[in-house]
């Protein structure tokens, strides 16, 4: 039997979350899947929250986020793409991002690079942080919808419940692909950040 390590435990947790949903992941169930007693896990992951934090760390490792100097727009697009890929490949485990704060060296390394890029472009330190948070908000929200779609759970407006004479704009969207909003969100975000960068750079 392979040695029991934190990495092996978390790989099991990620696979279980993708298969059965994050709420199904418990220390007892992980122990059962690995064929060990639950107390064997405590030296590696002592609590349910530690499992969720570990899932986030595992996904961030897989994402290969930028950790070397890049332009701010490249970072934003790379971060957005990485979160979208994670949400599609790990639709159950991705839910962990909404359950626990994303923190620690893995996340901070990429955010540090991004803040430096925004500062170099002309934003104040505070606004550079705000810009990074804005990208993270949008990327995680779009990722959440992508994960729902990957699980076959993406909900759409029930058009039959909205009278056409009262809601003509909604009915004009009946052939609309709801996933186009994801790309629109990214481009709107980038355009807004460009404007912020240009405005603050002009006042320096």
Task: Place 1 in a pLDDT band, splitting at 50, 70 and 90.
Answer: low
For residues 89-98, average pLDDT = 96
Dist. CA 54–CA 50, nearest whole Å: 6
The whole-angstrom separation of Cα 155 and Cα 27 is 31
Q: Can you give the three-state secondary structure of 96-157, one letter per residue?
A: HHHCCCCCCHHHHHHHHHHHHHHHHHCCCHHHHHHHHHHHHHHHHHHHHHHHHHHCCCCCCC
User: What is the pLDDT at residue 132?
Assistant: 96
Cβ neighbours of 115 (radius 10 Å): 22
pLDDT digits (tens, 9 = 90+) for 18-28: 999 999 999 99
More confident residue, 78 or 154: 78
pTM of the model: 0.89
Cα(95)–Cα(23) distance, rounded to whole angstroms?
Answer: 9
The model's pLDDT over 104-118, given as tens digits with 9 standing for 90+, comes to 787 889 999 999 999
Q: What length is written for the chain?
A: 204
Binned at pLDDT 50, 70 and 90, residue 201 comes out as confident
Instruction: State pLDDT tens for residues 57-68.
Output: 999 999 999 899
pLDDT (tens digit, 9 = 90+) per residue, 171-192?
A: 888 777 878 899 999 999 999 9
Summarize pLDDT for 133-167 with one digit per residue, the tens.
999 999 999 999 999 999 888 777 777 888 989 99
Tell me the mean pLDDT in the region 86-106: 90
């Amino acid at each position: 039997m392979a040695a029991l390590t934190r990495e092996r435990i978390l790989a099991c947790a990620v696979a279980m979350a993708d298969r059965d949903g994050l709420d199904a992941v418990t220390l007892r169930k992980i122990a059962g899947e690995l064929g060990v007693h639950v107390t064997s896990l405590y030296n590696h992951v002592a609590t349910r929250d530690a499992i969720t934090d570990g899932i986030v760390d595992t996904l961030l490792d897989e994402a290969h986020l930028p950790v070397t100097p890049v332009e701010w727009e490249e970072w934003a697009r790379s971060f957005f793409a990485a979160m979208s890929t994670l949400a599609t490949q790990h639709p159950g485990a991705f839910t962990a991002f909404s359950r626990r704060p994303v923190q620690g060296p893995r996340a901070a390394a990429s955010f540090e690079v991004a803040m430096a890029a925004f500062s170099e472009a002309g934003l104040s330190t505070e606004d550079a942080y705000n810009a990074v948070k804005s990208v993270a908000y949008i990327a995680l929200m779009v990722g959440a919808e992508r994960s729902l779609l990957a699980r076959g759970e993406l909900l759409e407006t029930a058009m039959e419940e909205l009278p056409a004479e009262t809601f003509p704009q909604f009915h004009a969207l009946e052939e609309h692909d709801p996933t186009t909003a994801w790309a629109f969100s990214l481009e709107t975000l980038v355009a807004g950040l460009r404007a912020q960068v240009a405005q603050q750079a002009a006042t320096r």
